[in-house]
Amino acid sequence: MKKMVQFGVIARNFSNSSAMQSAIKNITVIGGGLMGSGIAQVSAQAGQNVTLVDLSPEVLAKSQKSIGANLGRVAKKVYKDKPQDGEKFVAESMARIKTSTDPAAAAKSADLVVEAIVENMGVKHKLFKQLDAVAPEHTIFASNTSSLSINEICSVVKRKDRFGGLHFFNPVPVMRLLEVVRGAETSDATYKTMMEWGKAVGKTCITCKDTPGFVVNRLLVPYICEAIRLYERGDASARDIDTAMKLGAGYPMGPLELADYVGLDTNKFILDGWHNKYPDQPLFKPIPLLNKLVSEGKLGVKAGEGFYKYEKK
Ligand SMILES: CCCCCCCC(=O)CC(=O)SCCNC(=O)CCNC(=O)[C@H](O)C(C)(C)COP(=O)(O)OP(=O)(O)OC[C@H]1O[C@@H](n2cnc3c(N)ncnc32)[C@H](O)[C@@H]1OP(=O)(O)O
Ligand SMILES: NC(=O)C1=CN([C@@H]2O[C@H](COP(=O)(O)OP(=O)(O)OC[C@H]3O[C@@H](n4cnc5c(N)ncnc54)[C@H](O)[C@@H]3O)[C@@H](O)[C@H]2O)C=CC1
């Protein structure tokens, strides 16, 4: 049943993509990590020309490999009875993705730049300032930030009317939602183009204001943090908390499993940032157990241990 649902989602995303049109033809994705590689993949499979940028050539090589493997999974499902068409789909999608280690050069030919680099305001400011000086007048800038303010990120660029948030979910090829975030100065035309582009790459778009965590993370972060506090108090075991939310509330992963999947360092980073900004909000208060796990390097799936132990890949 689970497989059938996932298959339906991927096939639906793909057919939506083929049917939809977007004014955006050339997209530059900056940051070739977990999220950037997924954004590059869904864009390329929807027929867009993609330049995927990272500072590290090793990251780009790894991203290309994982995109190829994930496109292969899509092809297997969508072209189940036509393997040759599947191979063509993978080859054509891969051919639409170029890679680069030079963000400024890659922005020069972009209709849309989606930034998915490290969640750090200073680093994002430095990048966007550089891009604003070289990108064509019409180019729209968007950030995939999980927790930072879009208005604050875009404070360093002149094109504030052509700036917004495009917040994807992990794993990007599977999760159907895209949050389209309007900053204070995002123009109607930019907003409309972002919504159309989101549909064109197969996502269901919702509109959010520039508030902490937008919609999903504003609800998800306190939920995960409450689960960690529950476990920290010894009210239930980790396994029982996760089983409870999977079987009692129908979530695909329990909150502690999801925290490990996202990364405990990311959880902590978001919580600390919001706590500094909103010190009176009890939901954003630091969690000693989370701080301890992070200080011990137990960052979740990627580190081989978090709330649970994992085999290192
Ligand atoms: C306090 C901090 C909180 C927030 C921090 C910030 C983060 C953000 O800003 C926003 C976020 O992204 S929050 C995270 C949102 N994501 C979720 O909630 C994922 C929940 N989990 C799931 O949906 C499924 O367990 C999942 C789809 C992952 C796996 O599904 P299954 O359990 O059914 O596992 P599989 O049978 O292996 O997979 C089913 C099919 O899905 C495809 N797939 C799975 N993982 C994939 C991946 N990583 N990349 C691409 N495709 C993937 C795959 O097609 C697979 O099919 P096959 O393998 O071909 O059978
Ligand atoms: N991990 C998740 O579940 C989600 C993360 N996000 C957001 O997406 C963004 C990226 O997150 P991940 O993909 O998880 O991070 P990641 O660490 O997997 O990838 C970030 C990549 O950006 C590269 N990078 C850093 N500075 C750069 C620069 N100046 N120019 C070019 N490349 C640069 C790094 O080399 C790295 O490969 C963050 O803002 C994060 O908050 C949003 C939704 C979900």
Query: Tell me, what's the pLDDT at 84?
Result: 95
Is residue 98 within 6 Å of ligand 1 at its C-beta? no
- The number of beta carbons lying within 10 Å of the beta carbon of residue 104 is 14
Q: 4 pLDDT exceeds 50?
A: no
Say which residues have a Cβ less than 8 Å from residue 255's Cβ, sequence separation at least 6: 223, 224, 226, 227, 228, 241, 242, 245
78 & 168 share domain? yes
Residue nearest to atom 11 of ligand 1 (CA): 169
Span 169-196, average pLDDT: 97
Domain hosting residue 107, numbered range = 3-209
Catalytic residues: 146, 167, 179, 217
Span 188-210, average pLDDT: 97
2-19 vs 57-78: helix crossing angle, rounded to 10? 100
Tell me, yes or no, whether 46 lies in a domain: yes
Query: Tell me, what's the pLDDT at 22?
Result: 74
171 & 249 share domain? no
The CATH number covering residue 74 comes to 3.40.50.720
Query: Tell me, what's the pLDDT at 90?
Result: 97
Percent of the chain with pLDDT over 70: 93
pTM, two decimal places:
0.93
- Angstrom distance (rounded) from CA 273 to CA 279: 10
Tell me, yes or no, whether 78 lies in a domain: yes
pLDDT band of residue 124 (cuts 50, 70, 90) is: very high
- Angstrom distance (rounded) from CA 64 to CA 218: 32
192 & 244 share domain? no
Is residue 168 within 6 Å of ligand 1 at its C-beta? no
- Angstrom distance (rounded) from CA 81 to CA 142: 38
Span 184-202, average pLDDT: 97
203 & 80 share domain? yes
Phi-psi sector, 278: left (phi>0), alpha (psi -120 to 50), beta: beta
Span 230-255, average pLDDT: 98
Contact assessment for residue 149 and residue 122, using Cβ atoms and an 8 Å cutoff: no
| Ligand at shortest distance from the CA of 1 | 1
111 & 76 share domain? yes
The tokens for 311 are 């085999």
Query: Tell me, what's the pLDDT at 15?
Result: 46
224 & 204 share domain? no
Over residues 8-20, the pLDDT tens digits come to: 445 445 544 444 5
Expressed in angstroms and rounded, the spacing between residue 101 Cα and the centre of ligand 2 is 15
**How many domains are contained in the chain?**
2
Expressed in angstroms and rounded, the spacing between residue 244 Cα and the centre of ligand 2 is 31
The average confidence (pLDDT) of the chain is 93
Span 38-58, average pLDDT: 97
Residue nearest to atom 36 of ligand 1 (CA): 3
Closest C-alpha to 37, from 62, 12, 57, 13: 62
Say which residues have a Cβ less than 8 Å from residue 247's Cβ, sequence separation at least 6: none
Query: Tell me, what's the pLDDT at 312?
Result: 72
66 & 153 share domain? yes
Is residue 37 within 6 Å of ligand 2 at its C-beta? no
Is residue 213 within 6 Å of ligand 2 at its C-beta? no
Which of 188, 209, 230 delimits the end of a domain?
Answer: 209
Task: Check whether 124 is labelled as a binding-site residue.
Answer: yes
Over residues 66-114, the pLDDT tens digits come to: 999 999 999 999 999 999 999 999 999 999 999 999 999 999 999 999 9
What are the b/e assignments for 217-228, b being 16+ CB within 10 Å?
bbebbbebbebb
| Ligand at shortest distance from the CA of 127 | 2
Over residues 249-277, the pLDDT tens digits come to: 999 999 999 999 999 999 999 999 999 99
Contact assessment for residue 243 and residue 254, using Cβ atoms and an 8 Å cutoff: yes
Lateral strand order in the sheet of 140-143: 97-100, 49-53, 26-30, 112-115, 140-143, 163-167, 177-182, 204-209
Which of 178, 209, 240 delimits the end of a domain?
Answer: 209
Task: Check whether 36 is labelled as a binding-site residue.
Answer: yes
Residue nearest to atom 54 of ligand 1 (CA): 73
Residue with the larger pLDDT of the pair 251 and 23: 251
The tokens for 4 are 């059938």
Query: Tell me, what's the pLDDT at 14?
Result: 54
Q: 36 pLDDT exceeds 60?
A: yes
Distance of CA 243 to the CA centre of its chain: 26
Expressed in angstroms and rounded, the spacing between residue 17 Cα and the centre of ligand 2 is 24
Is residue 28 within 6 Å of ligand 2 at its C-beta? no
